[in-house]
Amino acid sequence: MLRVGLTGGIGAGKSTVAARLAEHGAVLIDADKIAREVVEPGTEGLARLVEAFGEDIRTPEGALDRPALATKAFADEASRRRLNGILHPLIGARTAELMAAVAPDAIVVHDVPLLVEGGMGAMYHLVLVVDAPVETRVQRLVELRGMPEADARARIAAQADEAARRATADVWLDNGGAPDIVLAQLDRLWADRLVPFEANIRLRRPRSPMPPDVVPYDQTWPAQAERALARIRLAVGDKALRVDHIGSTSVPGLPAKDVLDLQVTVSTLDVADEFADALSDAGFLRAGGDWWDESQDDANGPWYKRYHFGADPGRRINLHVRSLETPAWRLALLFAAWLRENPAERDAYAEVKRKLAAAHAADASSGPYSEDKQPWVNAAFRRAEEWAAATGWTP
């Protein structure tokens, strides 16, 4: 199952996106609909609300009087917490029930208006955010919903701002223009990313090789890495000692292959094996075979690790799971920190990468490129260790 979170500000046109994805075969789970279902007449939810807030929150017909509830539930913070304490577990249980009922090969789209505000992004394999200019949203709310303009602007201002939504979004859908534009984007997204993403996870498909294309530093790499790290943290829980963004994409200004290198540090590789399936289910597939880093101390042989890779065809990720049993975890953190603090070394590394990428441009994979780069990296490790000793750097 592929779990896709769908959100967007009021008036952005989220329903248009949800409907198109449903046409393609997505299973839609609507958080607002569930919130209404759990307080319908005769439900446990309504009974508990009446017990907490009084009989006068129910209409003469026995339904929930939402304005009456709002008057009481939002009167103070304690009342708000009481309301959430009743509703959130019921909504969560019903959502889990619906998720469990879908087919193993389903693409589930969970429509959650407050996904960003609730910090829920890590729960999904991918988050889609629908947006439109504020004035367009105001116009839609006034003309299509009959909302007073002042109320429309107040509702928009009360929600997460664009910066928070962009930080959460794996896919940004601009729905401010003609509907055909966003619909065409959704058609491509479904065929090129969502369908293969689901199949990659379910079938544990190996990843295709990547040629050694080096591109300029992308300012969005850290935010992309943080979204992936949040999903990894949720999957591994307290079994990880730390989870980090490493490698060239973690060094501002350094050209790199468009692949995020991430690292999970554990006490032993046996611990890494315990959460391997959880990581794979979260979209970070474990690669078969033995994996190791080249030892900087030949007397101790190779530094073994576990290796996972991202199943999302729209975002390549290398995930290295390293243990305290070897120095490799520390060296990965040191190398990136050293490059960030030493621009001359960063620029020298960039030049090496450009030259080798050009020399291996015809290669189908980046293997030969990485092999030719390793001697420079090994020498750089020694310089980095000298810097760490001189500065007192520690992970």
Q: Are residues 184 and 270 in the same domain?
A: no
Q: Are residues 242 and 318 in the same domain?
A: yes
Contact status, residue 268 vs residue 306, Cβ threshold 8 Å = no
**What number of H helices and E strands is found in the chain?**
16, 11
Note whether residue 210 is domain-resident. Answer: no
Note whether residue 209 is domain-resident. Answer: no
Q: Are residues 85 and 154 in the same domain?
A: yes
**Residue matched to tokens 């994979």:** 365
**Residue matched to tokens 């949800």:** 18
| Share of residues in the chain with pLDDT > 70 (%) | 99
* Residue at which a domain ends, from 139, 171, 202: 202
Note whether residue 216 is domain-resident. Answer: no
5 is in an annotated binding site: no
Contact status, residue 37 vs residue 157, Cβ threshold 8 Å = no
Handedness of CA 224, 277, 289, 379 (dihedral sign): positive
Q: Are residues 163 and 243 in the same domain?
A: no
* Residue at which a domain ends, from 154, 172, 202: 202
Note whether residue 215 is domain-resident. Answer: no
DSSP reduced 3-state for 244: strand
Report the CATH number that the domain containing residue 253 is assigned in CATH. Answer: 3.30.460.10
Q: Are residues 372 and 286 in the same domain?
A: yes
Note whether residue 279 is domain-resident. Answer: yes
Q: Are residues 197 and 314 in the same domain?
A: no
d(CA 308, CA 319): 5
What is the number of other CB atoms lying within 10 angstroms of the CB of residue 366?
20
Q: Are residues 248 and 163 in the same domain?
A: no
Q: Are residues 225 and 182 in the same domain?
A: no
CA atoms in the 13 A half-sphere facing the CB of 336: 20
12 is in an annotated binding site: yes
Range of the domain at 149: 2-202
Contact status, residue 4 vs residue 108, Cβ threshold 8 Å = yes
- The total domain count for the chain is 2
Angle at 20 between CA 15 and CA 21, to 5 degrees: 100
Note whether residue 208 is domain-resident. Answer: no
9 is in an annotated binding site: no
250 is in an annotated binding site: no
Q: Are residues 235 and 148 in the same domain?
A: no
d(CA 260, CA 255): 12
Q: Are residues 182 and 305 in the same domain?
A: no
Low-confidence ranges of the chain (pLDDT < 70): 298-299
- Residue-wise pLDDT for 90-110, tens only, equals 999 999 999 999 999 999 999
The reported pLDDT for the residue numbered 298 is: 66
Q: Are residues 40 and 86 in the same domain?
A: yes
The reported pLDDT for the residue numbered 71 is: 87
Helix axes 149-158, 134-145, angle to 10 degrees: 130
Report the CATH number that the domain containing residue 22 is assigned in CATH. Answer: 3.40.50.300
* Residue at which a domain ends, from 202, 236, 252: 202
The reported pLDDT for the residue numbered 299 is: 64
The reported pLDDT for the residue numbered 365 is: 85
> In terms of pTM, does the model score above 0.85?
yes
Residue 250 DSSP symbol: G
- Residue-wise pLDDT for 45-65, tens only, equals 999 999 999 999 999 999 999
323 is in an annotated binding site: no
Q: Are residues 153 and 251 in the same domain?
A: no
Note whether residue 59 is domain-resident. Answer: yes
Note whether residue 211 is domain-resident. Answer: no
The reported pLDDT for the residue numbered 366 is: 83
16 is in an annotated binding site: yes
